[in-house]
Each structure stands twice: as C-alpha cells, then as structure tokens.
Chains A and B, each alone.
Chain A
Amino acid sequence: MYLVAHIDQAICSETACRLCTQYCPEANTILYDNAAKTAFVAVDRCKGCEICVGICDDLAKHHAIKMIMITDLQDTFELSKEGFRPETWTGKHP
C-alpha cells in the first residue's frame, strides 16, 4: 500500500492560497474546485512526493495536507475515471 496526499477541505476552503496546485510536479493532480473554493487530489496521479505537504505547512502555514494510506480514503477522485470536468466537481470530492 502507499501514501497519497489528502487535503482537509474545511481548512483549505477558508483560504485562497492555491500554492499546492502550483508547486505539485505532476500535471492536473492537485485540482482546484472554484465553486467550493478548495483544492483536492486526483489520487490516481499522486506519486506521494510530499512536496505539497511542505508547501502547505511551511510556506502557506495552513497545515491542511497530510499523507494518508490510499486504503484509508473513501470516495476518492480519480482523474482517469472521471475526466477533467470542473462543472461536475462543486464540492463533492473528499
């Protein structure tokens, strides 16, 4: 099993920093839901490098991202299954 980044949306939606979306080395992996004002992770693309955790903790100081075992996550978002459809996101991804 492996770790993936998980964003606490309650904390993230309080801010509008978007830094993790800019510093993630993988394309379209940390996505941004403009309606719910929060970032979320496409778990099928996350390689578990933890760069976003450092950015959120040290640069943004929001402490919203943790590394979590993929098996401990429910209702995850997978880009390969759902495609890139921002109009369908609207806050329903954990």
Chain B
Amino acid sequence: MSLKNMTITPGWEKYMTKEYIDLVERGPYGKQKKVSEMGSFKEVLEEHPMCAGCAMTLFIRLTMVGLPNPEHTILIGTAGCGRLALTQTSIPFIYGNYGDTNAVASGLKRGLEVRFKDQAKDVVVMAGDGGLADIGFSAVMHSWFRKERFTTIMLDNEVYGNTGGQESGMTERGALLKMAPKGKLFDKMDMMGLAQTSGVAYIARLTPTNPTRVASVVRKAVMIAREVGPTFIQAYTSCNIEYAIPTPKVLDDARDIESKRYGFMEIISDEAKAYLDSIDTAKKAKKE
C-alpha cells in the first residue's frame, strides 16, 4: 500500500464514502501529525466495536498517531480484543493465526525488503498478552533471536478478556478472575527481561496515561525497527470489564498501576541510540 494507491481515481469521488474522502483529503498522510493536533485531522482509526472507555482503544488510537508512515505500514494481529479496532483502520491488517503473528511478520518484512528496495515498509505486530506471551511465545522469542526488523507491541490487559477472563502469563500473581477463582498462583512473566536477554534493540514499557509519550515511543520503536533490529513495546491497557473498573476510573487505575508497578521504562541499545541521534542531527541540519 502507498498513498498513491489510496488516492481516489478522478471521476470516482461520488462513489466513495464520506469517510474515505475525508481520510484521503484530511488524513494524517504526508506530514507527521502531533498528538496535540488530535481532533483536527481525520484519524486512520474509524468507528469500532470495542467496549466504552477501554484503555486498549485509547492506546491503539495513540499508536496510530505515532506511526511515522501509516501509508507504508502493515499491521499484524491475532484473536483478541485489539483486532476489533485494528481491523477498523485504513492500514492493511493481517489476521495471523493464534501463535504465528511474529512468524508471519518475519516473512512479510523480509519479502517487503526484497520487493520495495527504495521505500521503507514498516511491519507492526499488535496483539494481546495471550497472543504474544502465551500462545505466540515461541514465535515472538525466535523472531527476536533472529533479529527480525519489525516492531512488536503487546497490548497487556493481563487477562484473556475476549473469552471470559482466563488468567494469562502476564496476569499478576494473586489476581482473582472469573476463570481463575482461586487467584493466579504464579508470577507475571518478565517479558521486558526476556526481550533484553534476546538482544531486542529498543524495549519500552508504558501505560496510556501520557498520550505524547505513547506516540513518541511508537515512533522511536518503528524507526529503530527499520534500520537496527527488533523492537518491543509492552503497554498496560487494562480490561475494565474483567477487572471491573468503572469506565470513568480507567485512567485513574492506569495512573495507579503505573505508580505501583508499571512505571515508564525504556531500554535502548547503543546502536539504536546512535541511530536515533543520527535522525535528530539530520532533522536539525534540514531545519537550518
């Protein structure tokens, strides 16, 4: 996909939906949009069937603003809540089978590099904690070991929200859930540590309490994945249904969890840091 493919063939405007015309004419293409401009440009995310007040939706919305080139991006997801919104974006979405998201992304990214030598194409995997840390675990780890150049974003709601509240590897010890009535008996998996051990170039952990930060972390992760190596973002996106959080309190909960055990953390390799610095220098030089 590219912007050329999206623009409407002259004469066909009257057959296109309002939403599509708005997106092409007033969408975020061409120039990187800022979080502070939200509400005054048409977003790539459309209406979607996710629950009211879902923190995951907020995170996905901010991610879409953070993407450096939405017209040159392909999303990969799997079963879970996130795909309900991800499929409603104007970005191509591949529905991987449960467990193989990162394997699909590996092949896709390699193929795109061969096919489009002059244009960077970004591949972003966005799936839940179950899809990446439990069922897709081996594919995730091996994509990191092989240093595949794409971004993996974990929407960590700490539960299997879509299937009625089973515990996942990322659920906190002792958490009581509908399908874990005795409380979870084991610790939350340390995906940040595993990513570090596997040599992931850029690792970040965050909550959607700071929109500008979410967008900038996503942008950094995607840029580093283009040139340096695998990147990983682990985001706390609470399930207000399974954890019974009243919707007006969703962000209070996120702030609370952030202060207790999910503080913003960024682990960046030397090579990735040098690359980011080189981008900044190039940008400054361009301005002058």
Contact = CB atoms under 8 A, between A and B. Distances in A.
A63 to B, nearest CB: 14
A45 B102 CA distance: 33
Interface stretch (B36-44, B149-157, B258-266): B36-44
Contacts of A30: 39
Interface string A25-69: 111101110100001000001011111011100000000000000
A27 B211 CA distance: 13
A27 B53 contact: no
Contact of A22 (B19, B38, B248): B38
A21 interface: yes
Nearest to A19: B211
B176 interface: no
Interface stretch (B55-63, B130-138, B159-167): B55-63
Contacts of B22: 83-85
A25 B39 contact: no
Contact of B19 (A18, A53, A83): A83
A86 interface: yes
B250 interface: yes
Interface in B240-271: 247-252
Nearest to A58: B252
Contact of A28 (B42, B54, B212, B248): B42
A34 B26 CA distance: 14
B18 interface: yes
Interface string B201-222: 0000000000110000000000
B35 interface: yes
A84 B21 CA distance: 9
Interface size class on chain A is 20 to 34
Contacts of A45: 47
A61 to B, nearest CB: 15
B39 A50 contact: no
Given A49-B52, A83-B19, A31 B40 contact: yes
Contacts, number: 83
Contacts of A21: 38-39
Contacts of B81: none
Given A25-B55, A83-B19, A84-B22, A51 B247 contact: yes
Contact of B53 (A51, A80, A83, A85): A51
A22 B250 contact: no
Contact of A50 (B18, B50, B247): B247
Nearest to B43: A27
Contacts of A26: 47, 57, 61
Interface centre among B35, B58, B64 (most CB of A within 10 A): B58
Contacts of B48: 27
B42 A49 contact: no
A51 B251 contact: yes
Given A25-B61, A54-B251, A47 B18 contact: no
Interface of B: 18-19, 21-22, 26, 35-36, 38-40, 42-43, 45-48, 50-55, 57-58, 61-62, 64, 211-212, 247-252
Interface of A: 18, 21-28, 30-32, 34, 39, 45, 47-51, 53-55, 80, 83-86
Given A32-B38, A51-B250, A86-B40, 14 more contacts: A18-B38, A22-B212, A24-B58, A25-B54, A27-B48, A32-B40, A47-B53, A49-B52, A50-B247, A51-B248, A54-B248, A80-B18, A84-B22, A84-B26
